[in-house]
Structure 1
Amino acid sequence: MKTAGGFKVADFHCDVLSKLQASPEISFKNDGRLDVTMERLAAGNVGMQVFAIYLSEARGRPSFESVLGQLDLFREKIIGSEQLQWLRWKEEAVEVTASATARGVLSLEGVDGLEGNLFYAQLCFELGVRLFGVTWNYANWAADGVLEARNGGFTEKGRQLIEWCNKSGMLLDVSHLAPTGFWELTERSKRPFIASHSNAAAICGHPRNLSDKQIKTLITMDGRMGLTFVPWFVRDGGGAKPDDVRRHIEHVCSLGGTKHLMFGSDFDGIDAWVEGLEHPGKYAEFAELLVKYYPEDEVRGWLYDNAMRFLSEHLPPRP
């Protein structure tokens, strides 16, 4: 039997920062209240983790001050652990594959906290954020989210944001974006974008999942699709297992996405888990399952290489 030993993992979405902001006493090293900890990243051989800045409206109106608060937590508790280094530049993504040190990328899940101000977007870039998810589920100043009933596209300020991202090198993420916005972005963006944590609607009909047409478009433009472990995005009715995730893998690959598939777990953004994929330490077992069914080079691509190739090609160059 093939072995999954040594498989590195890149995970394009987790929400640990919002938990750290809500409960400052939590330790990132090994606190059981977190899905993602430094110990579990090491156990799962996670070489690159994207950390999302997510501002829950339950904690008040999203503001740039709250964005800065989570950014400071990333620097203090994540990068400050000295076991994980910041990944910001194209050159670092090229170098990281040969490194034993894990890397962290900072993203913004919904641009609400930028308050419609592109100067704040520029500050985020200068402070090390490299991914903007345009919306969460509902409307904001830039565009409509996927659960917004009117299914609108981008506002005029949102279109200015697209242009600014294309010029600056900030990457765009369409997970949570309404379908009208998705198609508008394909017309307006000069650079490929990603869906960091979305699954295939043909396998599970949740509105957060992508249609075959959307998936094929991401593939054509050399974007990336991060399959997520949110149970109700994996299997209708929930109760998902790793074999259910495999159904999404096979479907995306059947559309031509073998080299465009990656993972975006959404750990710490969920309160139920795929059985056997409850935290990043389980990635090693998941890799063992995958190599029973698929060629090792494809599994390596899905777990790590496809994601890192995208970053090495599309992150901005170091000034």
Structure 2
Amino acid sequence: MAHSTAPAVFDGHNDVLLKLYRAGGPAAAESFVTGRDGHIDLPRAAEGGFGGGFFAVYVPSEVDLDDKYDQMNQPSYDLPLPEPIEWEDALPVALNQAAILFRLEELGALKVCRSTADIRACLASNTMAAILHIEGAEAIDPELNTLDVLYQAGLRSLGPVWSRTTLFGEGVPFRFPSDGDIGGGLTDHGLRLVKRCNELGIMIDLSHLNMAGFWDVARHSNAPLVATHSNAYAICPHARNLTDEQLDAIRDSDGMVGLNFAVAFLREDGQMADTGIDMMLRHLDYLIEKLGDTRVGLGSDFDGAMVPSEIGSIAGLPALRDAMRAHGYDDALMEKLCNGNWLRVLEKTWGA
């Protein structure tokens, strides 16, 4: 799958399971193998040198996308957050999406990875590597029984919130300009979730958490701090991006940030409009400066965001790698940014 002349991209976040869920659930998995509309499928993975990444399970809210995009093209905006989703409603959706991932594995499209050894073996054999990830923990019950069961099924990464409030904490709205200092921190349930994730070796994803929740995780977690798909607030002052103080904490924990390809989190004006790869390089340069070159990777948000048209889908990843090389990133740095840094932080978090 990976091009012989370039390191395969192991990516911090995609939403293809949501797209397949909306297209019919596990029965729609065949389209991933043969080719589908959207950003990610098997044929384009071979074309783009996509080695795999975090496959998010996400329970959607009803959102008027046309209205959302219109608002996010204003000089400033603050989109209202959807209402919380109850566990009883979230669990069937989450299980359906997890079943899609396991169906893809049955079809030979990918392998669900539970260790870094699994990921390395996939990269070596040109097999797409997939981490089962939950974005927003609505499907986790207060007693955390669902967490234990999903861990046994393969769950290895979890974000306590998307942007709407959960039993465990509060997220940030799609607000510009704004930092993430919005709302309260983790609840008692959220603190227990962090502790149990640490015990099991489930990575805790800080993307979408508000600032108070971020600092609660920083105080209570014994694992590296990781934001799978977030950018630099200093360049794009969006509530979804990370301040210098947050980046310092991630660096000090020997954690990781994955560059989000979503245009609204790249552009200085925060707007939902096309932008060039040059803006991605600006964020990468800044993140490397703040975090060091072992703590930065890619976290595209493919199939969940509008990405620069120069890339378009995973088939366009060679354009990004070419731009990174032209920008002066040498072979060693390319290897780290494309997949090595994810392997490093996952090995430290999972212990294997």
Q: Which amino acid aligns with 1:75?
A: F
Deviation at 1:4, TM superposition (A): 8.6
Q: Does residue 22 of structure 1 match 2:48?
A: no
Instruction: Please give the residue correspondences for 1:50-65 in structure 2 after superposition, counting only pairs within 5 Å.
Output: 50-58=54-62, 62-65=89-92
Bigger mean CA offset, 88-97 vs 35-44 = 88-97
Q: Does residue 101 of structure 1 match 2:127?
A: yes
Q: 1:146 aligns with which of 155, 161, 172?
A: 172
Are 2:35 and 2:42, in contact at CA under 8 Å, matched by a contact in 1? no
CA distance in 1, matches of 2:143, 2:137: 10
- State the secondary structure of the residue aligned to 2:32: coil
Change in Cα spacing, 1:53 to 1:281, as seen in structure 2 (3 Å) is same
- State the secondary structure of the residue aligned to 1:107: strand
Are 2:247 and 2:291, in contact at CA under 8 Å, matched by a contact in 1? no
Deviation at 1:300, TM superposition (A): 1.7
Q: Does residue 79 of structure 1 match 2:114?
A: no
Corresponding residue for residue 235 of structure 2? 203
CA distance in 2, matches of 1:225, 1:212: 12
Change in Cα spacing, 1:4 to 1:246, as seen in structure 2 (3 Å) is farther
Bigger mean CA offset, 4-13 vs 161-170 = 4-13
- State the secondary structure of the residue aligned to 1:281: helix
Q: Which runs of 4+ in 1 moved over 6 A?
A: none
Corresponding residue for residue 7 of structure 1? 7
Are 2:35 and 2:43, in contact at CA under 8 Å, matched by a contact in 1? no
Are 1:172 and 1:193, in contact at CA under 8 Å, matched by a contact in 2? yes
Q: Does residue 288 of structure 1 match 2:314?
A: no
CA distance in 2, matches of 1:32, 1:65: 24
CA distance in 1, matches of 2:342, 2:182: 33
Q: Which amino acid aligns with 2:316?
A: K
- State the secondary structure of the residue aligned to 1:29: helix
Are 2:207 and 2:229, in contact at CA under 8 Å, matched by a contact in 1? yes
Q: Does residue 126 of structure 1 match 2:178?
A: no
Corresponding residue for residue 75 of structure 2? none
Instruction: Please give the residue correspondences for 1:101-250 in structure 2 after superposition, counting only pairs within 5 Å.
Output: 101-147=127-173, 150-235=182-267, 236=269, 237=271, 238-250=273-285
Deviation at 1:93, TM superposition (A): 3.7
| CA deviation vs aligned residue, 1:189-242 (integer Å, no higher than 9, x gap) | 011131011010111111100001111211111111000110000102332111
Q: 1:256 aligns with which of 259, 281, 291?
A: 291
Deviation at 1:72, TM superposition (A): 0.6
- State the secondary structure of the residue aligned to 1:132: strand
Are 1:4 and 1:284, in contact at CA under 8 Å, matched by a contact in 2? no
Instruction: Please give the residue correspondences for 1:291-306 in structure 2 after superposition, counting only pairs within 5 Å.
Output: 291-293=325-327, 294-306=329-341
Q: Which amino acid aligns with 2:194?
A: I
Q: Which amino acid aligns with 1:29?
A: V
- State the secondary structure of the residue aligned to 2:124: coil
Deviation at 1:311, TM superposition (A): 2.0
CA distance in 1, matches of 2:157, 2:349: 11
Are 1:40 and 1:280, in contact at CA under 8 Å, matched by a contact in 2? yes
- State the secondary structure of the residue aligned to 2:133: strand
Deviation at 1:102, TM superposition (A): 2.1
Deviation at 1:275, TM superposition (A): 2.1
Deviation at 1:96, TM superposition (A): 4.2
CA distance in 1, matches of 2:22, 2:142: 25
CA distance in 2, matches of 1:216, 1:44: 33
- State the secondary structure of the residue aligned to 1:126: helix
Q: 2:311 aligns with which of 277, 284, 287?
A: 277
Please give the TM-score of this superposition, normalised by the length of structure 1: 0.92
CA distance in 2, matches of 1:106, 1:159: 22
Corresponding residue for residue 96 of structure 2? 69
